[in-house]
Amino acid sequence: MELNIVYTKGGRVLPDLRSFLKELERDKDLIRIKDPVSIRFEVAAIMKELDCGPAIFFEKIKESDVPIVANVCGTRVRICRSLGVSEKGLYQRIMDSQMHPLRPTVVKDCPVKEVLEKPKLTKMPILLHYEKDAGPYITSAAVSARSPDGKIENVSIHRLLVLDDSHLAIRIVPRHLYKLQQMAKERGKSLDVAIAIGLHPTISLAAALQAPFGISEYDLANTLQNGGLKLTKCENVNAYAPADAEIVLEGCISGENETIEGPFTDLLGVYDVQRKQPVVEVVGVMRRKKCLYQALLPAGLEHMLLMGLGREVKIWDAVRHVVPFVKSVNLTPGGCGWLHAVISIEKQNEGDGKNALMAAFAVHNSLKHAVVVDTDIDVFNSYDVEWAIATRFHGDEDLLIIRNVRGSSMDPASDQERELTTKIGVDATRPLHKPSKNFEKAKIPENRNVKRILKKSARKLVS
């Protein structure tokens, strides 16, 4: 399938999923899978194998004529590329979007309204990911809804279990979408939602950021796109969706009708428990003529990045208010992009490490273990971090233990009913009362002749 993209009247490429995929393919950061594959575990298995690799385009799906794209936001480099920033400027760009939200333009005629049809969810290439999942799940959709008076809009990512051709079970935690649902329920109404699939990374990232209640994540996405986002009003419900989305399911979240949702493999890579959750009735579908379905692997690196980046920004901002300089923050893949953080700071006083740890725990409730290191340590290199702990950490002085505090409801080792856990902070910064030379990494001087020899040997190995 050719990735036909949409242009504005002035010839500028609209920042949609297709234009981004076209860029990735041009720069060999997208792989096409041409063999037929099944939505029952096969697509998920390939996504797992290529988890840290390029974006993926599945051309032939056994159960559907709709191709699948995946791993779109699977690396920091790709996310930065979608924003037009370097990794160094990523956090500030995200913060700027939250401080200066910009309302998108609303249009009537748009690509996502090329086809209007009745829902047939079982005919869509919705994936079955892991062997004990309750069924096929939509995992990449941005769900948008407005308060009954239309003044407040929320956009967030939720998992959706397919029940039949026109019904889904939606997992809602007690945050903003839940609050909107309760507001509608108090008026005896269901909550209209637009479930958008196939989105530019800026929209997916904004939907995962959780703006303060009252600020729409679409406004954040529009700022991230430098004012390029366009919305359209749904045909059958009072909700708005990106005009260049691939597919939009128009639905209503019942205030009364609930069903058992789960088990489902969530962020930590274990099966989340079953719960009673609201039912979504899908009343219509808007889509492009030759639409793409966007998949996201639960517990994959893309899932971790989208969930974790917003928290990294909060940690970075909070820590830089208590220490002079914060270089980097990494919610690590080993900590599922959620429970473990490594933070590098420029230490000025002996208490800086512990202050940084307390600031991090304060702004990310689910954070369980955190390590603070000096700026010469690469927070994305686990060898470097472990070396810092081995050479700069003194157990009875540099260990911070906080008992019986709020943790992640997903953590199976915690008190999940009361959401209580023990948090541990490790100050692996070098002690200032000892000479800095004692903690200096040994280096071998650079040598041009060595580089020439290695380059020559590498050519011989390839030939």
Please identify every residue annotated as catalytic: 266
- 3-state SS assignment for residue 83: helix
Closest by Cα among 419, 333, 429, 345 to 381:
333
Burial 314-324 (b: 16+ CB within 10 A, else e): bbbbbbbebbe
The order of strands in the sheet holding 325-331 is: 325-331, 340-346, 369-374, 420-427, 399-406
User: Which position has the token pair 């869509």?
Assistant: 124
Q: How far apart are the C-alpha atoms of 214 and 50, rounded to whole Å?
A: 38
Cβ atoms of 248 and 283 within 8 Å: the answer is no
Helix (H) or strand (E) holding 137: strand 137-138
Peptide bond preceding 111 in cis form (omega within 30 of 0) = no
Contact 180, 147 (CB under 8 A): yes
The CA distance from 177 to 169, in Å, is 14
- Longest distance between any two alpha carbons in the chain, whole Å: 78
Please give the structure tokens belonging to residue 401. 């233990």
Residue 191 backbone class (left: φ over 0; alpha: ψ -120 to 50; beta: rest): beta
Region of residue 243 (left: phi > 0; alpha: psi -120 to 50; beta: else): alpha
CB crowding 114-139: b at 16 or more within 10 Å, else e: eeeeebebeebbbbbbbeebbebbbb
**Starting from the edge strand earliest in sequence, which strands make up the sheet with 55-58, in order?**
30-33, 55-58, 68-70, 293-295
Strand partners, 68: 58, 293
